[in-house]
Structure 1
Amino acid sequence: MADTIGIVGGGALGTLLTSRFLAAKADVRVVVRSPSRLEMLKRDYPALRGGTDAELLRGSDLVLLCVKAYDVPAVARSLAALDLRETAIASLQNGWGHMEILAAALPRLPLLAGATSLGAYLDERGSLHSDEDGRTLVAPWRPTDLPSAERAAEALRRAGLKADTCSDARAVLWRKLVLNSAVNPLTALARCTNGTLEAEPALFAIAERAAQEAARVGWKLEVLEKGFDPVAALRSVLRETAGNRSSMLEDLGRGRRTEVEEITGAVVRLAGEVGESTPVQAALLTLIRAAERRPQN
């Protein structure tokens, strides 16, 4: 495998992708913020080319962004300072609004929006636990970026991961937002795996209403196709990722900032702009905000 792959972020997803691309003999360059996390990665992957400086990404064919949504502005500035010429940037963030930030900072580079159901978490030692059976969908942010999206999907497939392309990035991102906003806050509050939401009818009823609310906002914004069935999609992702622990569950349990503002907060804010009522989404947002302010046991 001759690809040169840059990965920004040493969390669970970034580590999973690092492990797969290294196994496929790609030239992998990983940039992380924390020196201690870098040490852990090098402990588990001695051949890794890693560092804390974005300069390491020069020469990459593809850069995968695996940072939190609220870190995208800082990452965009770091990438812009490199003055990259042809590198494709694929964002695998949760939430809504990050692609516009990247497009403003990197107007000449191919930009790709990604949605993945790969499951991973890091244990207390920082070691990876993952379910690599999920699928990743890659979509061009601009029509001219479609060839780059196809090459990115092929690179993921060469690394042994399931990947496809789609032409409509905004629909991909809103479908992802529908599911994340229905699953992540609820699993964090109930302290359960994704599959528990389907197994327990009371929890599924809440997730179902949250997904329906987010879908209605997407339809009013005209970013979601009319034929999308939020309940069927919710059941499908819960079964596909039944054993997964959501990133919001992990973050809340470890006392870290969650992405609730970029996920649920985005749905509630945009619902207000289009005049759509989202009481379940608003309640989940309030509860996660309150939980973030309290120490976790």
Structure 2
Amino acid sequence: MAKVCIVGCGAMGSVYAGLMAAAGHEVHAVTPWQEHVDAINANGLRVSGYSGDRVVRLASASTGTHDIGPCDLVIIATKAFDVEAAARSAGALMNADTVVQTIQNGVGSPERVARYVDPAQLAVGVVGGYGASIPEWGHAHHNGLAVTWFGAYASLPRASLKASAEIWRSSGFEVALHDDVSSMVWKKVIMNVAYSGTAGLTELTIGQIIEHPEAWRIASGCAQEAVDVSRKLGVELGLPDPIAHVRALGGKIPGARPSMLLDLQAGRRCEVDAINGAIVRLGQEYGVPTPINDVVVALIRAKESMAIDAAPVARAGAH
């Protein structure tokens, strides 16, 4: 069994931690949420939903990487805006054989992690169709396990990439390895861009967005602009109809609420800059019009500001 540390053990990270611990791996969780740490240490970590319902004991749960020691696998599962701090803290968890997987929404995070982690030890991960949330401290719920993909960031040996993927497979995840990391990342980006901002503004689930004609018009328009940007960048998506792909994948988790919506409802900073905002930024840089994402980003930023101002009255358990 492997020794694994998940840095950024929120909703998604807790699903990873729970299933890996259930498979017998030594799992250490690091999260800034003291309430989550206290609940896990007192009662174990509960993971419910698509994979069943279980309570597992982790090797440790804490707010820092101290005292954990070198691991076989380090998973950086923070929000995009916290990824550099997580990468800096990962040094205490590494030796020459450690594989670091960074898994974030949007674009740009692997490049920032590579400032602190040897590219020969770094993998990029893409997950989707999980629909994860934290209904209460110490409890993660998820609606699916549709996509779990990895690729080498730069010079990670193939054997190391496969060994790290096997930890996930042994824990019940269906893993695919990709040689074209840009294509892998952008397939997820177009889905994030479709549903994240739209849900954040409308407070609809993914299924409701798909079924509501006006909401779908905004979601599909955001996705199409992301497709246009990816083509300008020379990314080969390998999808005959990218928008149909976005709709089909979203249809697998109709009850899910994207993390951008959950963060806004909880009065927390959201990842709009790494998702819809990245499309706007790259569109401006490469001369690709992004009018729908422009408006979505502006409205999300306004809503985020109001949500953070109202944070003292936000329900703490909604993640």
How big is the shift at 1:52?
2.3
Match of 2:303 in 1: 291
Aligned partner of residue 123 in structure 1, secondary structure: strand
Match of 2:123 in 1: 112
Match of 1:47 in 2: 57
TM-score normalized with structure 2 length: 0.87
Match of 2:85 among 71, 74, 77: 74
Question: Does 2:68 match 1:62?
Answer: no
CA distance in 2, matches of 1:146, 1:233: 29
Question: Does 2:103 match 1:92?
Answer: yes
> Residues 20-67 of structure 1, C-alpha deviation per residue, up to 9 Å, x if partnerless?
011101111112223322112222337322222213453311111111
How big is the shift at 1:189?
1.1
How big is the shift at 1:68?
0.6
Do 2:23 and 2:171's aligned partners in 1 also have CA atoms closer than 8 Å? yes
Match of 2:153 among 113, 138, 141: 141
How big is the shift at 1:123?
1.2
Do 1:197 and 1:238's aligned partners in 2 also have CA atoms closer than 8 Å? no
Aligned partner of residue 285 in structure 1, secondary structure: helix
CA distance in 1, matches of 2:64, 2:207: 38
Aligned residues: 296
> Residues 155-176 of structure 1, C-alpha deviation per residue, up to 9 Å, x if partnerless?
1111011211111112211221
Q: 1:173 to 1:228 in 2, by over 3 A?
A: farther
Match of 2:220 in 1: 208
Aligned partner of residue 22 in structure 1, secondary structure: helix
Do 2:201 and 2:300's aligned partners in 1 also have CA atoms closer than 8 Å? yes
Q: Identify the range of structure 1 (195-204 vs 260-269) with the bigger mean alpha-carbon deviation.
A: 195-204
Do 2:263 and 2:269's aligned partners in 1 also have CA atoms closer than 8 Å? yes
CA distance in 2, matches of 1:126, 1:17: 13
Q: Where does structure 2 lack aligned partners over 5 or more consecutive residues?
A: 46-55, 315-319
CA distance in 1, matches of 2:250, 2:299: 22
Q: 1:220 to 1:264 in 2, by over 3 A?
A: same
Opposite residue 12 of structure 1, the aligned amino acid is A
Match of 1:179 in 2: 191
Residue pairs, 1:139-178, within 5 angstroms: 139-178=151-190
How big is the shift at 1:148?
2.7
Q: Identify the range of structure 1 (54-63 vs 157-166) with the bigger mean alpha-carbon deviation.
A: 54-63
Opposite residue 3 of structure 1, the aligned amino acid is A
> Residues 204-263 of structure 1, C-alpha deviation per residue, up to 9 Å, x if partnerless?
111111111101101111134365532122112211221211100100111110000111
Match of 2:263 among 238, 251, 271: 251
Opposite residue 109 of structure 2, the aligned amino acid is H
How big is the shift at 1:185?
0.8
Match of 2:48 in 1: none
Match of 2:23 in 1: 24
CA distance in 2, matches of 1:81, 1:160: 28
CA distance in 1, matches of 2:144, 2:243: 24
Question: Does 2:222 match 1:223?
Answer: no
Q: 1:189 to 1:126 in 2, by over 3 A?
A: farther
Do 2:36 and 2:137's aligned partners in 1 also have CA atoms closer than 8 Å? no
Q: 1:125 to 1:76 in 2, by over 3 A?
A: closer
Do 1:18 and 1:30's aligned partners in 2 also have CA atoms closer than 8 Å? yes
Match of 1:38 in 2: 37
Answer 1 or 2: which has greater helix percent. 1
Q: 1:194 to 1:89 in 2, by over 3 A?
A: same
CA distance in 2, matches of 1:213, 1:122: 31
TM-score normalized with structure 1 length: 0.93
Q: 1:10 to 1:144 in 2, by over 3 A?
A: closer
CA distance in 1, matches of 2:90, 2:161: 19
Q: Identify the range of structure 1 (112-121 vs 266-275) with the bigger mean alpha-carbon deviation.
A: 112-121
Structural RMSD (CA): 1.9
Opposite residue 229 of structure 1, the aligned amino acid is D
Match of 1:282 in 2: 294
